[in-house]
Amino acid sequence: MTNEFSKAMDFRHACKVFDDTKTISDEDMKFILEAGRKSPSSFGMEAWKFLVITNEDLKAKLKPACWDQIQMTSCSHLVIVLAGIDSVKVATGIPKQRFERTGMPAEQLEFYLGMYAGHLDNVLSSDENIYSWTVRQTYIATGNMMTAAAFIGIDSCPIEGFDKGAVEKILNLDTSKFQLATVLPFGYRLNEQSTQYREAFEDIVEFVK
């Protein structure tokens, strides 16, 4: 079946070089970022943040910390996807706020908070475990942003080829609050799209009876 969504899935590829003469409009960038903001997250915690960088000097400074990949400086907008660390801790009051905004009654709120803390006992026991839990969720937002971009003819490349500590240092991140998840440049392709290599449908999908 071919429709607008499947066309976007075919259009998206890990773009290696962007046309640095082309700039994404504010309106299109907002459309892409909204797809990230509206993404699902465990318990609705939204433990993420998206830094949007257009400053050429800063892009150039970050490039060596990202394996010198050309996408870093040829892109129009560089989005740095961060995983939230302290915001998911009960003591910050943020999990309570997240539950509260749904308008649930006080006794249900207490129940939910207790369930949250109990279920995530191990996750919340260290910043390292929190990172590994929240970073997984940022990938959903990252995927949605890439597909949203492809839907409107904009290219992207998810980048994990980086020195995490070096990028966090350049960005002056307080890593007790946010840590680097993914580097996500957006722009317009300079070259033809690469071939999409995928395993056969039957090899990766199993209908269990």
Ligand X SMILES: Cc1cc2nc3c(=O)[nH]c(=O)nc-3n(C[C@H](O)[C@H](O)[C@H](O)COP(=O)(O)O)c2cc1C
Chain residues in the site for ligand X (CB under 6 A): 13-14, 16, 69, 157-161, 194, 196
Please identify, using beta-carbon distances, which residue of 99 and 162 lies nearer to ligand X.
Answer: 162
Give min distance, CB of 170 to ligand X, in A: 17
Amino acid at 152: I
Please identify, using beta-carbon distances, which residue of 11 and 99 lies nearer to ligand X.
Answer: 11
Please identify, using beta-carbon distances, which residue of 121 and 192 lies nearer to ligand X.
Answer: 192
Give min distance, CB of 20 to ligand X, in A: 17
Please give the angle made by the CA atoms of 192, 31 and 102, to the nearest 5 degrees. 140
Give min distance, CB of 182 to ligand X, in A: 6
Q: Give the separation between CA 81 and CA 37, rounded to whole angstroms.
A: 11
Q: Give the separation between CA 81 and CA 41, rounded to whole angstroms.
A: 14
Q: Give the separation between CA 48 and CA 134, rounded to whole angstroms.
A: 8
Residue at shortest CB range from ligand X:
161
Please identify, using beta-carbon distances, which residue of 62 and 124 lies nearer to ligand X.
Answer: 62
Please identify, using beta-carbon distances, which residue of 198 and 209 lies nearer to ligand X.
Answer: 198
Give min distance, CB of 160 to ligand X, in A: 3
Give min distance, CB of 60 to ligand X, in A: 17
Please identify, using beta-carbon distances, which residue of 16 and 89 lies nearer to ligand X.
Answer: 16
Please give the angle made by the CA atoms of 67, 68 and 74, to the nearest 5 degrees. 130
Give min distance, CB of 117 to ligand X, in A: 30
Q: How many residues does the chain have?
A: 209
Cβ burial 132-166 (10 Å sphere, 16+ → b, else e): ebbbebbbebbebbbbbbbbeebbbbbbeebeeee
Tokens 């959903």 found at: 140
Nearest to 59 by CA among 46, 74, 38, 81: 74
